Structure 1
Amino acid sequence: MLVDNSVHGDSRVQKQAASAAAVGWDVILLGKYSGKGEDNWKLGDAEVRLINMRAKLSVKPRDLRNAPLRRPLAYSSERVADFRVQLVKAWRADLRVRGDELKVADGRSKLGTQAAKTWLAVPKLASKATSRWVSLRRRETKRLGRIRRTRSAPLDKLTTEFWLKTMGNRAWRRLDPGVWDFELSYGPVIDELKPDIIHANDFRMLGVGSRAALRARGAGRPVKLVWDAHEFLPGVRSWANKRKLPAMVAYEREHAKYADAVMTVSGGLADLLQKSHKLAERPAVVLNAPDAAATHRETDEQVPDIRELCGIDSDDVPLLVYSGLAAAQRGLGIMVEGLPEIPKAHVVFVCGDPEAPYVQGLLRRAEELGVQERVHAVPYVPHWQVVPFLSGANVGVIPIHHWPNHEIALITKFFEYSHARLPLVVSDVKTMAEVASETGQGEVFKAENVADYVRAVKAVLADPQKYSAVYDTEGLLEEWTWEAQAKVLDEVYTRLLQGGGR
């Protein structure tokens, strides 16, 4: 099983590995070592190994050279520019001290002192001119750096199109060769393990898994490849580098044909994948639902109290929770902007890093609005604690914006809120809005509309039992459990080893 992260924060991959091992599969999960924590451990009966990957190809040699056509005055790199700036500052600081030394000099004639001051004026003028010249070149270097990071200049767009036209799906080799670092790090480990099934999570590992499968098949050893697609790659918008998306779309297209079976996170995404990659069969749907058995297991480890972490000592205080990735496209700002209109309510963001700049920006905005005492940020808890942890809140909020990948799936927090029996307030992204409206478990508001968000929250807080009673519907929550999804995963594996698939 392959994943392009450190495993720690990836609940889907953790549940996959543990549940597959629990029913008898010999599972080794390979992830990327981040330099934090252990590099080997166990998830139930599954073994986790983290690979120390060195990103040596993510910086292209040409990015370290001058760019005479783009920015003729730029230095070769920002590091060189910073060095030059500091060098000139040191020169000017030295000249100031030499001037002060002349002012307090003893034993020197007035004529000699004046001559020295006059002579010192020459390098002072030179240093001032040099400082301006270096500052100009530094600004040009920073502009060049931004162009290189975003690859959005007309010349970049032209060359991107050129490589896509001339190389087709192979163009990623030119546009984003950094993905080779995964191949060169993971590949030898996979070859040594000689697996029967390679389960590749998401697009980067699809290429790594495909190549490992081809090497094994070339050596006469049958290997089956499962591709687990977590998102619709053409719908991703979060990369600043404008070359990365077309590069990775090409990378995915090149390797998708080698998958013996495909699974994904939602029915909508399954349909998109089948159409875009011309798959012979619709991908199996494995929802990223909570692990009910793990959630209710007996353990000495106490689940933190979310209200206590927020300093709320009364059950009468409404607590609105958002749990998950903290980013602008997730729409968290609306929860702060609407808070002045929702008296007594508190907001808590459960996120990977409460000290991250975006989260701190939300807290600063709360201070500007005078509601800083009612906005909190707390870190993640282990995935088996998420549901009981969230159950201490009153409302689960999903305020995400209209992005292609947001429209097509019931995301993880939707299921987590549901198992925590929280009334929902969700933006009008297609799939989640439809389900929340059909089940009656929450209110839908127009994305990015503060007034409509406030209306939805007030409606839920006015009669929370109306919404949470939906969870008593027979079979609803049972369908949204990892136990149900793990059966699909096991069926896919079994079918492949019995001769099914491509």
Structure 2
Amino acid sequence: MSSSQRVVYLTGNDVLSDPRVLKYINAALEMGLEVKALGVTRSGPGFHTVFEGCDVTVTGVPQGFVRRLASMSRQLGTVWRLRYRSKAELFAARSQVTRWRASAAAHGGARRAVLGSLAVAGRVTVALVGAIGSRSRSTSTKQVHDDADHRRQVDALLTQSGFRWQKVVPHLVKDEKMIGPLLDSLEPDIIHVHDVFMLALGAHARERARARGRDVTLVYDAHEYVRGLTNLPPELAAAYTQLEGEVIRETDAVITVSEPLARSLQEDYQLPSTPLVVLNAPRSRTSEKGFQTLRKVVGVDGAPLLVYAGGVNFARGVDTAIRALPELDGVHLAVVTNRVNVVVNSLIELAKELGVDSRVHLTDYVDPQLVVEFLADATVGLSTLLRSPNHDVAITNKFCEYLQAGLPIVTSDTPAQRDLVERYGVGEVYVAGDVHSFVEATRAVLADTDSYRTRIAKETGLRHQLTWAAQAGLIEELYVGLVGELRGQRTATGDK
């Protein structure tokens, strides 16, 4: 058996789709640790693979009748409401109607008839309820009201004596029955839980190990501000918050993604110390000969090129950038994303309606280690997040990637990113969701791009902090503090 300490990363996803987890795996391998990763998928069979020397085991969840029934119940609840509390809920309802319509077209017989009827009735409901909501108050006032209302509902649920997260998310209990024995068999020295979903599972595994006389360290990596996930139904946000609250103080260490989120976690749970901040910094390497950068891929030579790189959903606010293009003559927008979902299709339709579709370009993700080089010949990097408690404390992957690529940033006024942009003068800030404000901020950067790039180049300390090598050093310091000297043979990949 290896003399190296063993770390097991637990995720509530399929591991391979989570860039933060993959970077941790690489860092732990470089430290000489023996590394395993366990995850779960709800969209297909499980699998086992090897990633850079790490055994990855992902458990599949059968899609039985009860689960399909629950899925249909959620779909119906998304559409049929007395009111939509936010633009996100309205958009989710419209998206569900679109999916019903598309699914009806793809099937025949009774299924086609049922789905078609749902789509027709849903379209009428969305039109009526959405129209009522749109007349009620302005967007900015409504968003503030929605967030506060969501928080009140979450807090109210948490004070109910009969409220239990296990009843709201029973699949997490089932996950533990499947994954718990496998985790026990790996006999980890460190259980490192990414995101809240597997936190109880990790804590229970540590208890079982200690009962058998093994000392196991439990680390919790909070990727998001769970209490502030206003895109989730209040009951679900409350369930995850309760789960987090039951375990977080019992962990040996807490890590998170930004200083504001670290402070929020400490205040919410009265933690004895502020969580360690490990930024979502990019892990980079040099490309092979013939690698094509963004401009070559989208076919934009000398024109100004804005880039949004990352997942796309309503709350990401990418539509703000598209709505601004009619006011930004000759400016192109590249959206680098991993899948063409309902939201992406709606953005394409919006671009056509506005007559700017020839200046909007979609392209796929590249190897995560090549993102910085891929983006470097764009003109401006965009972070278009809409305001929410979770977004307000976020420092995103793309934000770090843009600065590593030397790109000036135009960001919405989510406080964590706004403060960095204003402190270092590396871009401009606009009011989230406000097209006119976005246009002004973008014009300001385009008018003086060289000055912004020069400031970014001079901020060597900031740019080093935003490398994965710097973040990996923090992780190693934490692990050494928890389990003592790391005994394995160190390796090096040459990544930055």
TM-score under structure 2 normalisation? Answer: 0.76
Distance change in 2, residues 1:56/1:284 (3 Å): farther
Q: Which amino acid aligns with 1:180?
A: V
Aligned to 2:13: 5
Q: Which amino acid aligns with 1:418?
A: L
Fraction of identical pairs, as percent: 34
Secondary structure at the counterpart of residue 231 of structure 1: coil
Matched, 1:347 2:355: no
Matched, 1:480 2:488: no
Is the CA contact (8 Å cut-off) linking 1:303 and 1:385 kept in structure 2?
Answer: no
Aligned to 2:182: 189
Whole-Å separation in 1 of the counterparts to 2:464 and 2:250: 34
Whole-Å separation in 2 of the counterparts to 1:465 and 1:61: 56
Q: How does 1:17-416 map to 2 (within 5 A)?
A: 17-33=25-41, 39-54=47-62, 59=67, 165-167=160-162, 171-239=164-232, 241-291=233-283, 295-297=284-286, 299=288, 302-312=290-300, 314=301, 316-353=302-339, 355-416=340-401
Whole-Å separation in 2 of the counterparts to 1:88 and 1:226: 47
Secondary structure at the counterpart of residue 222 of structure 1: coil
Is the CA contact (8 Å cut-off) linking 1:349 and 1:377 kept in structure 2?
Answer: yes
Gaps of 5+ in 1: 66-70, 72-77, 91-130, 144-156
Is the CA contact (8 Å cut-off) linking 1:425 and 1:443 kept in structure 2?
Answer: yes
Secondary structure at the counterpart of residue 459 of structure 1: helix
Secondary structure at the counterpart of residue 245 of structure 2: helix
Secondary structure at the counterpart of residue 336 of structure 2: strand
Whole-Å separation in 1 of the counterparts to 2:70 and 2:61: 22
Gaps of 5+ in 2: 1-8, 74-79, 81-99, 126-151, 486-496
Distance change in 2, residues 1:86/1:209 (3 Å): same
Is the CA contact (8 Å cut-off) linking 2:10 and 2:191 kept in structure 1?
Answer: yes
Q: Deviations over 1:465-488 (max 9, x none)?
A: 110111222322111111111111
List structure 1 segments (4+ residues) > 4 angstroms apart after TM superposition: 33-38, 55-58, 60-65, 85-90, 160-164
Distance change in 2, residues 1:309/1:38 (3 Å): farther
Secondary structure at the counterpart of residue 33 of structure 2: coil
Aligned length: 415
Whole-Å separation in 2 of the counterparts to 1:177 and 1:482: 36
How big is the shift at 1:37? 11
Is the CA contact (8 Å cut-off) linking 2:15 and 2:39 kept in structure 1?
Answer: yes
Aligned to 2:433: 448
Whole-Å separation in 2 of the counterparts to 1:63 and 1:267: 36
Q: Which amino acid aligns with 1:269?
A: L
Secondary structure at the counterpart of residue 355 of structure 2: coil
Distance change in 2, residues 1:486/1:337 (3 Å): same
Is the CA contact (8 Å cut-off) linking 2:40 and 2:59 kept in structure 1?
Answer: yes
Aligned to 1:99: none
Distance change in 2, residues 1:440/1:174 (3 Å): same
Q: Deviations over 1:330-384 (max 9, x none)?
A: 110011111011111111111120x211011111111111111111111111210
Whole-Å separation in 1 of the counterparts to 2:71 and 2:308: 40
How big is the shift at 1:236? 0.3
Distance change in 2, residues 1:61/1:476 (3 Å): closer
Q: Deviations over 1:258-286 (max 9, x none)?
A: 21111111111111111212211211111
Secondary structure at the counterpart of residue 204 of structure 1: coil
Q: Which amino acid aligns with 1:479?
A: Q
Q: CA RMSD in A?
A: 3.4
How big is the shift at 1:41? 3.5
Whole-Å separation in 1 of the counterparts to 2:385 and 2:112: 47
Secondary structure at the counterpart of residue 421 of structure 1: coil
**Which structure has the larger Rg?**
1
Aligned to 2:442: 457
Secondary structure at the counterpart of residue 306 of structure 2: strand
Whole-Å separation in 2 of the counterparts to 1:265 and 1:34: 26
Aligned to 1:466: 451
Is the CA contact (8 Å cut-off) linking 1:55 and 1:178 kept in structure 2?
Answer: no
Whole-Å separation in 2 of the counterparts to 1:12 and 1:377: 24
Q: How does 1:486-501 map to 2 (within 5 A)?
A: 486-498=472-484
Aligned to 2:405: 420
Distance change in 2, residues 1:17/1:88 (3 Å): closer
How big is the shift at 1:164? 5.3
Whole-Å separation in 1 of the counterparts to 2:66 and 2:373: 41
Q: Deviations over 1:277-301 (max 9, x none)?
A: 221121111111112xxx234646x
How big is the shift at 1:459? 1.3
How big is the shift at 1:61? 8.4
Q: Which amino acid aligns with 2:241?
A: V
Is the CA contact (8 Å cut-off) linking 2:172 and 2:198 kept in structure 1?
Answer: no
How big is the shift at 1:8? 2.6
Q: Deviations over 1:133-166 (max 9, x none)?
A: xx89x979x99xxxxxxxxxxxxx99x9689522
Whole-Å separation in 2 of the counterparts to 1:88 and 1:404: 40
Distance change in 2, residues 1:87/1:5 (3 Å): closer
Q: Deviations over 1:298-329 (max 9, x none)?
A: 646x53332222222x2x21110001120111
Aligned to 1:123: none
Aligned to 2:3: none
Q: Which amino acid aligns with 1:485?
A: Q
Whole-Å separation in 1 of the counterparts to 2:60 and 2:413: 41
Distance change in 2, residues 1:63/1:40 (3 Å): closer
Whole-Å separation in 2 of the counterparts to 1:163 and 1:421: 44
| Structure having greater relative contact order (Cα 8 Å, sep ≥ 6) | 2
Q: Deviations over 1:109-146 (max 9, x none)?
A: xxxxxxxxxxxxxxxxxxxxxx9xxx89x979x99xxx
Q: Which amino acid aligns with 1:166?
A: S
Distance change in 2, residues 1:174/1:451 (3 Å): same
Secondary structure at the counterpart of residue 271 of structure 2: coil
Is the CA contact (8 Å cut-off) linking 2:158 and 2:242 kept in structure 1?
Answer: no
Whole-Å separation in 2 of the counterparts to 1:406 and 1:55: 32
How big is the shift at 1:62? 9.0
